[in-house]
Structure 1
Amino acid sequence: MNGTAFENYAQIPIAIVGGGLGGLALAIGLLKYGIQVHIYESAEAFSEIGAGVAFGINSITALHLIDPKLLEGYKKHATFNADHDRASTFMSFRWGIDEMKRDGHKAGDVMWNLDDDWRSERAEALGVRTRSCIHRARLLDELVALLPADVTSFKKSFVTAEEQNDGSLKLRFADGTTASASALIGCDGIKSKVRELVCGSGVQATYAGEVAYRAMVPKTDAEKALGSDLAFNGHIYCGYGGYIVTYPVENCDFVNMVAIPHDSGETWTWSQNEWTVPATADEIRQRFKGWYPSLIDIISEYSLPSKWALFDLQHDAPYYKSKICLLGDSAHATTPHLGAGAGMAMEDAYLLSNLIASNGSVAHIENAFRAYDAVRRPRTQSCIEKSRNAAMVMDFLEPEIVDDTTALKEALRTSYKWLWHEDLEAQLCKAKQFL
């Protein structure tokens, strides 16, 4: 679709506020249909916070549907389980700490593998395996490579937008400049300024009662500390009050490790203004006292001098208002416990770009936004809830499960089946009915 159907789109671009993974994926999807876009990014250049990101088959499918070139670029950098017998394994689960009973399991013992027993042939068809991981910076590079150089303005910190008499939007930035847009899509993350225009100031991120300690361990040192099986295949270590995830990235040159303890008590508050605060190796050792020693030692040695408070964005407000819409974390930021946050943004980008294209005219773009909200809000808000529940299960804090590994396995398998095997093309067809 292009040409006269998009004359109205071509006159004034659709503005995308935020040049992260979701915003760039959306831009690629819209440009494929000949729809003019412009990205406004507050930083001086494209950049990504964090290290590794894990993609399940739903995320891989979304990349392919947005643009097959994007999936090809992704596969150049994707890292899989080194053990080919675990091609259909997302993560191997282990005990992170000794089981609290006589003659129980010891820290490091195997629990079970989370395998895709449902439709793993889809991964083979797309040239990947059940779980693949990529460094966020590499994925960002591949997204940028598919965009024209002239569609992005940097150092543009969004302040607000106002509708004009002709129906266009005037965007205002912190440096005093303005820009015109036919519509606005906020891809500006969990602290989104665009969200205030759509949902009001009452919809705010909530602290999830957890922090993340991160380490990026060189291949040689990871293998020396843990052995090749633990270093070069994805693992989750479960324990009383926390869990640790490890997986290789950069073609096994590094192992990404994240340790996530859970706050005690039934209510949690984060009293500091900043969500990323200083942390020490000694703090990690204290929070994970008694856990698998080799793992804690190597994480502590290579830990970054900070910890990240985990927030999410659970609410029931629409993801759009008039000609303004939200995508990715700005609409539905989630905790990382299902490895689903970035993948949900890719799903968003596929659905929204196609709905805007099918809509055909910016004059009625609200119809596309309404259809997008109708199908994406239920799925993404469910993802937030399922992600929080996954942490409770892996932290042995779910009262009906505690450290029953059979029940733990069944609970997680149910959530991952829901996550991985959503039919995105069927979801698009359903959304088009709202147009």
Structure 2
Amino acid sequence: MGSIANGDPLPPKPINLAVIGGGLAGLALTLGLLPHSQHIKTTIYESAPAFAEIGVGVAFGPNAVRAMGMISPAILKGFKKHVTGNSPDYPALEDVWASFRYGMDSKTETESGKGKKYGDLICHLRGTEKGLGEMLEREGISTRSCIHRARFLDELVQLVPEGTAQFGKRLVEIEELEEGGVKLRFADGETVVADGVVGCDGIKSMTREMVFGEEGKKARPQFTGEYAYRALVPEAVAVETLGDELAKNCQLYIGYRGYIMSYPVEHGKFINIAAVIQKDNLEWDDDNWIIASTKEDMVNDFEGWGSNIIELISRFETKDKWGFYDLLHEQKYYRGNVCLLGDSAHASTPNLGAGAGMAFEDAYVLSNLLGAARDAQELEKVFKCFNEVRRERTQDVIKASRKAGKVNSFLGEGIGDDFDKLRPDIEARYRWVWDFDLEATLVEAKKM
């Protein structure tokens, strides 16, 4: 550090940080860095012409909602404007994350599963334990926290200072400079030099390709053998088909080689539905992960399921089929002064409802570590510490989500459609995700 004439130390040079991607992950990190704006200058480079989110509803567990509030109370305030839980018409279900039910009649020969019928309740998965749900209660947020992706993104965008984002910036090359820093080249020909880069550009991340290099071929998205039909259905249609209680509260119907999840969004105006199918030795040959399908395909895939569920699926206006990919790998989440966050590092399937929440946990840890960095020379150390405390948990979430897909499809090893084994497995899986001390993780990272 330099000094001025009277011997006082010069203030440290601001760290110039480039955030690649302006989705939920990139915005969460940027907002987490706002309290440190005096010494960290953050610029978002987004390939699209404006901020935008694809997809429909997204669910967040209690751990993720806590992380939002820990990053910034303003994030939580925007989330609360649009968050939707189970219907207030059913107060007994207020703290229920999902009601797990048989989606079709059981075919098992085990004593506990024999005779189970479509619609039979397996369990009401209720809120978090260990006192970690206190913040949700204080903020008036129910355990079931669902939101429309686009609405949430709009709230986050309003919190980003003007001039922070540049659009139409598709990254094509990253070069580490000998003198320090990183040069970025974009498809429009512009080059930018930054002290550090955080890739928040999703499962198809260009940043990841460049960070991993040749080794990255082992860390590319993998098709999991699952696909889903997804739609937003007007509440009236869902109520007419399923009945009031089932339509207005989150249900997860599990069956042979598939499951169907439904939950309200937009304060109950719509019901978000994902109907998931697992198939052996299925390959996804199309480069597009969302492909056109037909009503006949949808109905055939769910042959044997409850009649009203099939009726609801048949009424989907969109017939697209969404392939499920994830990112299970052994690579580090950084190289030099370039780091990966959220789906670019550890995308998971939606089977556990935990993937999006990991980005907010990431953003809390990384924004605080970056805020504690004295200068750009410490960026690689920051990224290394982030990798040390986040890699194992986020990769384990991917594995747990894969298992959830199997269990929800009666394919869980040693579990199948056995009623007595399903409930404890469901409870343990979600508790592990939810009952997590994120603050302790940050303390551990700072000690490093």
CA distance in 2, matches of 1:58, 1:229: 27
Deviation digits for residues 158-209 of structure 1 (CA, Å, limit 9, x no counterpart): 1111123431221101121111211100011111110022222311111111
Shift of 1:235: 0.6
Partner of 2:78: 73
Mapped partners of 2:436, 2:250: distance in 1:
23
How many Å separate the matches in 2 of 1:18 and 1:242?
33
Are 1:87 and 2:98 counterparts?
no
Among candidates 418, 427, 438, match of residue 424 of structure 1? 438
- 2:50 pairs with one of 39, 45, 48: 45
Aligned 8 A contact 1:281 1:303 in 2: no
1:256 to 258, 262, 272: 272
Q: Tell me the equivalent position of 1:109.
A: 120
CA distance in 2 between counterparts of 1:163 and 1:293 reads: 58
Partner residue of 2:382 out of 322, 345, 368 = 368
Find the aligned partners of 1:121 and 1:150 in 2 and give their Cα distance: 37
- Which segment is superposed worse, 112-121 or 396-405? 112-121
Displacement of 1:33 = 1.5
SS in structure 2 at match of 1:28: helix
Q: Distance in 1 between matches of 2:365 and 2:248?
A: 34
**1:187 maps onto 2:200 in alignment:** yes
Instruction: Flag the 1:301–1:313 CA change in 2: closer, same or farther, 3 A.
Output: same
Alpha-carbon spacing, 1:220–1:334, altered in 2? closer, same or farther (3 Å)? same
The Cα shift of 1:68 comes to 0.6
Is the CA contact 2:108–2:417 (under 8 Å) kept in the aligned structure 1? no
Q: 1:40-98: CA deviations, max 9, x gaps?
A: 11111111111111111100011001101110110010001112211221100111111
Equivalence map 1:238-317=2 (5 Å): 238-264=254-280, 267-317=281-331
Name which of 168, 188, 200 aligns with 1:155: 168
Q: Return the alpha-carbon distance in structure 2 between the equivalents of residues 405 and 9 of structure 1.
A: 58
Question: Which of 144, 150, 153 in structure 2 is aligned with 1:137?
Answer: 150
Identical amino acids, percent of aligned pairs: 45
Contact 1:63 1:71 in 2 (8 A): yes
Give the direction of change, closer, same or farther, for the CA distance of 1:7–1:147 in structure 2 (3 Å limit).
farther
String of CA shifts for 1:333-380, please: whole Å, max 9, x gaps.
000011011100000000000001112212211111011000100000
Partner of 2:107: 100
Q: Structure 2: which 5+ residue stretches go unaligned? A: 1-8
Q: Describe the shift of the 1:284–1:302 C-alpha distance in structure 2 as closer, same or farther (beyond 3 A).
A: same
Letter in 2 for 1:134: I
Structure 1 residue identity aligned to 2:29 = L
Aligned to 1:389: 403
What is the distance in 1 between the residues matched to 2:177 and 2:146? 44
1:30 pairs with 2:37: no
How far apart are residue 149 of structure 1 and its match? 2.1
1:334 aligns with 2:348: yes
Name the stretch that deviates more: 365-374 or 124-133.
124-133
- Bigger drift between 362-371 and 157-166 goes to 157-166
Distance 1:6 1:425 in 2: 29
- 1:5 to 1:97, Cα distance in 2 relative to 1, 3 A: farther
Gaps of 5+ in 1: none
Q: Which has the larger radius of gyration?
A: 2
Cα distance per residue 1:371-411 (max 9 Å; x no partner):
10001000000000000001111100123000012211111
**C-alpha distance in structure 1 between counterparts of 2:378 and 2:407, whole Å:** 44
Q: 1:291 is matched by which residue type in structure 2?
A: W
Whole-angstrom CA distance in 2 between matches of 1:32 and 1:5 = 21
- 1:8 counterpart = 2:21: no
Structural RMSD (CA)? 1.6
User: Could you say which residue in structure 2 is the equivalent of 1:204?
Assistant: 220
What's 1:61 paired with? Answer: 66
Q: Give the count of matched residue pairs.
A: 427
Deviations 1:256-314 (CA, angstroms, capped at 9, x unpaired): 000001012xx443222221111112111000011111122122212423111100000
Specify the code of the residue in structure 1 equivalent to 2:97: F
Q: Distance in 2 between matches of 1:301 and 1:5?
A: 67
1:402 & 1:68 partners in 2: Cα distance? Answer: 43
- Segment of structure 1 superposing worse, 43-52 or 97-106: 97-106
Is 1:414 the counterpart of 2:421? The answer is: no
Mark the CA change 1:311 to 1:374 in structure 2 (over 3 Å): closer, same or farther. Answer: same
Please state whether the residue corresponding to 1:175 is helix, strand or coil.
Answer: coil
Residue 357 of structure 2 aligns with which residue? 343
Query: 3-state DSSP class of the match of 2:273?
Result: strand
CA distance in 2, matches of 1:147, 1:363: 27
TM-score (ref. length: structure 1):
0.95
Q: Distance in 2 between matches of 1:319 and 1:399?
A: 31
State the distance in 1 between where 2:137 and 2:42 align.
34
Moved more, 158-167 or 333-342: 158-167
AA matched with 1:149: E
State the secondary structure of the residue aligned to 1:305. coil
Deviation at 1:6, TM superposition (A): 7.8
Separation (CA, whole Å) in 2 of partners of 1:405 and 1:144: 45
Q: Which residue of 2 aligns with 1:18?
A: 21
> Aligned letter for 1:79?
T
